[in-house]
Amino acid sequence: MKILHIYKDYPPILGGIENHVQLLARGQAAAGHDVTALVTNPAGMKTTVMTEAGVTVIRAARLATIASTPLSVALPWQLLRQRPDVVHLHYPYPIGEVSQWLLRRGHATVLSYHADIVRQASILRLYKPLLRQVLRRADAIIIGSPPMRGGAFLGEHQAKLHLIPYGIPVARFRAEPAEADLARLRAQIAAVFPHERSASSDADSAVLGIEASAGLSVQQIQPTQTPGDSSSTTPTPRHPDTPLLLFVGRLRYYKGLDWLIRALPQTPARLVVAGIGSMEAEWRALAAEVGVTDRIAWLGEVPDADLPTLYHLADLFVLPASQPSEAFGLVQVEAMAAGVPSICTELGTGTSYVNRDGVTGLVVPPRDAQALADAINSLLTDPVRRADLGAAARVRVAAEFDLDVMVARVLALYEALT
């Protein structure tokens, strides 16, 4: 079968949808199908064609990007040249969707409805009439979680909705990393924290200069506060054994990292942020404003090979998304596969479908720093419960969100349509 996926971006561009498109395309190619991904070129005015892990990736020349939407005249031209059996659109990307609606390539059109358009209201006003036509023309619409049945434009299309949860290579994240990899990444994280680079040396100097006559060592005067000690409202970690919170994802407005930053002063934890994006400067400034600059390690883009190890180093994974643009949160699935409990927000989307409140983690209201802090503290002070939630998370991920299961379900849908 010849399969064509259409979206705006593809890895190495980071993002949940980008990662999903790559995983699905590679899984289909590994199953013996002829798979192409048609996306836009972030490098600009040049179209490139490459074969990556069995998938032909066409990156069409990009003129500009407006409101997170790449503009590309080359993309519809490249689409016109394709002869697929199935075209699989990944919404939202208006240029790709309208191009397929106009050109009608393939024997069947499948559309994965990943999320409602929330912030780009001006574009949505212009696009809404065309979107309705795109959805009517689609032969099948895939949703990743039951709450997505209530998507803003899906009301009249319930009969052709198909629930196929997102999948990941569970075994890759479940496997215990090598001790050498754990040690290497642990050292890398420690080196990024300002207080671990400087505060420890300052403490050493103070001990040598002031306390030496008393015969005290550095270790003997380390703070004795434990992660569950609430004696201080703004505990300051001074030791690499301090509990570690993890956030992974693009630094976009709807990810809600600002609310986690606001919650951090009320917890005894450090935070590792893996990802880059347009909100980084603003959120770094917020961290300085609330006094937690030395509690956050901004790792930037983490190599994909290091992600499983990073998850295994975390005590808790936090997805503090603030808007329903966060429709699922594949990073939650990765963390849960590694046995890490997740704390997410209730957005009426798939975030709380993936992470079951009180079963695999905790779910709190969005845009509520106090609720986040309370949830974090409740799990950090209860290691037994944390372990139970992590074990349940692994079971749920293996049963519902494995990559092979997702690929088989999507291919079965294609077969039924063609």
* CATH, residue 242: 3.40.50.2000
Q: Cα separation of 236 and 265, whole Å?
A: 8
Q: Cα separation of 229 and 353, whole Å?
A: 32
State mean pLDDT over 94-105. Answer: 96
Q: Taking all residues of the chain, what is their mean pLDDT, rounded to a whole number? A: 88
In this structure, the answer to whether residues 255 and 189 fall within a common structural domain is yes
Query: Does the structure show a pLDDT above 90 at 61?
Result: yes
Q: Give me the pLDDT at residue 122, please.
A: 65
Residue 343, classed as helix, strand or coil, is: strand
- Please give the residue range of the domain that contains residue 115: 2-167+402-417
Of residues 269, 230, 221, 274, the one with CA closest to residue 251: 274
Q: Are residues 196 and 296 in contact, defined by beta-carbon separation less than 8 angstroms?
A: no
State mean pLDDT over 278-291. Answer: 98
Is residue 127, in this structure, part of any structural domain at all?
yes
Q: Cα separation of 401 and 336, whole Å?
A: 10
Of residues 123, 130, 136, 132, the one with CA closest to residue 152: 132
Residue % of the chain over a pLDDT of 70: 87
pTM of the model: 0.77
Scanning 87-174, the segments in alpha helix (DSSP H) are 94-103, 121-137, 170-174
Is residue 223, in this structure, part of any structural domain at all?
no
**350-375 pLDDT, tens per residue?**
999 999 999 999 999 999 999 999 99
**192-229 pLDDT, tens per residue?**
886 654 443 343 333 222 222 223 222 222 333 333 33
Residue 210, classed as helix, strand or coil, is: helix
Tally the domains of the chain. 2
In this structure, the answer to whether residues 132 and 257 fall within a common structural domain is no
In this structure, the answer to whether residues 148 and 297 fall within a common structural domain is no
In this structure, the answer to whether residues 319 and 189 fall within a common structural domain is yes
Query: Does the structure show a pLDDT above 70 at 70?
Result: yes
Q: Are residues 79 and 6 in contact, defined by beta-carbon separation less than 8 angstroms?
A: yes
Is residue 212, in this structure, part of any structural domain at all?
no
- pLDDT tier at 120, thresholds 50, 70, 90: low
**Residue 144: burial class (beta carbons within 10 Å; 0-12, 13-18, 19+):** buried
In this structure, the answer to whether residues 85 and 96 fall within a common structural domain is yes
Q: Give me the pLDDT at residue 67, please.
A: 78
Residue 89, classed as helix, strand or coil, is: strand
In this structure, the answer to whether residues 190 and 312 fall within a common structural domain is yes
**Is beta strand 55-60 parallel, antiparallel or unpaired with respect to 34-40?**
parallel
Q: Are residues 161 and 149 in contact, defined by beta-carbon separation less than 8 angstroms?
A: yes
In this structure, the answer to whether residues 379 and 294 fall within a common structural domain is yes
Q: Which two tokens stand for residue 102?
A: 């106009």
Is residue 203, in this structure, part of any structural domain at all?
no
State mean pLDDT over 15-25. Answer: 92
- pLDDT tier at 288, thresholds 50, 70, 90: very high
Q: Cα separation of 18 and 7, whole Å?
A: 8
In this structure, the answer to whether residues 413 and 359 fall within a common structural domain is no
**230-272 pLDDT, tens per residue?**
333 333 333 446 899 999 999 999 999 999 999 999 999 999 9
